[in-house]
Amino acid sequence: MERTYLMIKPDGVQRGLIGEIISRFEKKGFQLVGMKFLRLTKEMAEKHYAEHVGKPFFPGLVEYIISGPVVAMCWEGKDVVSVSREMMGATNPAKAAPGTIRGAYAVDIGRNIIHGSDSPASAERELSIYFNAGELVEWDRSLQAWIAE
């Protein structure tokens, strides 16, 4: 089963959106297999956003992402990488469809409340930054057969 890395960013935590965001992924039918509440170190932030080093927004992005606690999560499910990106909406909340998480709750590209891996390879790389293999929990959900064939 596919896995992705989702993270409620410091603005999502500060704005009291943890429950609302987690609820969307639960109700969709995805399964939570790992979760931590933590504050990123500068080193973790730079590792996470390594592909953006050198871009004009990079210093501000690192400051933002270490400015408060985040909720780091691993979610599992059918096509969870691409489907969760659709549920999040466009990177710039001003362009995100109204029903998406960013479209519903955010207005600024620098405060877009949630991160989600953009490919299975990114998911694997990002999950390894936040979780040891033993911290991801395999569990059977009795209603799985009602969610996917």
Q: Binding residues for ligand IDP, per CB under 6 A?
A: 57, 61, 91, 109-110, 112, 115, 118
Query: Taking the complex as a whole, how short is the minimal distance between the CB of residue 47 and ligand IDP, in angstroms?
Result: 14
- Is residue 52 flagged as an active site residue? no
Residue with the two structure tokens 């209603």: 143
Our CB check for ligand IDP shows the closer of 28 and 111 to be 111
Our CB check for ligand IDP shows the closer of 70 and 144 to be 70
- 95: which 2 tokens? 């362009």
Query: Taking the complex as a whole, how short is the minimal distance between the CB of residue 70 and ligand IDP, in angstroms?
Result: 12
Whose CB is nearest to ligand IDP? 91
Other CB atoms within 10 A of residue 105 CB: 20
Residue 112 in marked binding region = yes
Residue 57 in marked binding region = yes
Residue 85 in marked binding region = yes
Query: Taking the complex as a whole, how short is the minimal distance between the CB of residue 141 and ligand IDP, in angstroms?
Result: 28
Query: Taking the complex as a whole, how short is the minimal distance between the CB of residue 46 and ligand IDP, in angstroms?
Result: 13
Catalytic residue among 115, 117, 126, 127: 115
DSSP for the chain, written as a single string: --EEEEEE-HHHHHTT-HHHHHHHHHHHT-EEEEEEEE---HHHHHHHTGGGTTSTTHHHHHHHHTSS-EEEEEEE-TTHHHHHHHHH--SSGGGS-TTSHHHHH--BTTB--EEE-SSHHHHHHHHHHH--GGGSPP---TTGGGT--
Our CB check for ligand IDP shows the closer of 31 and 112 to be 112
Give catalytic residue positions. 115
Annotated binding site for ATP: 9, 57, 85, 91, 102, 112
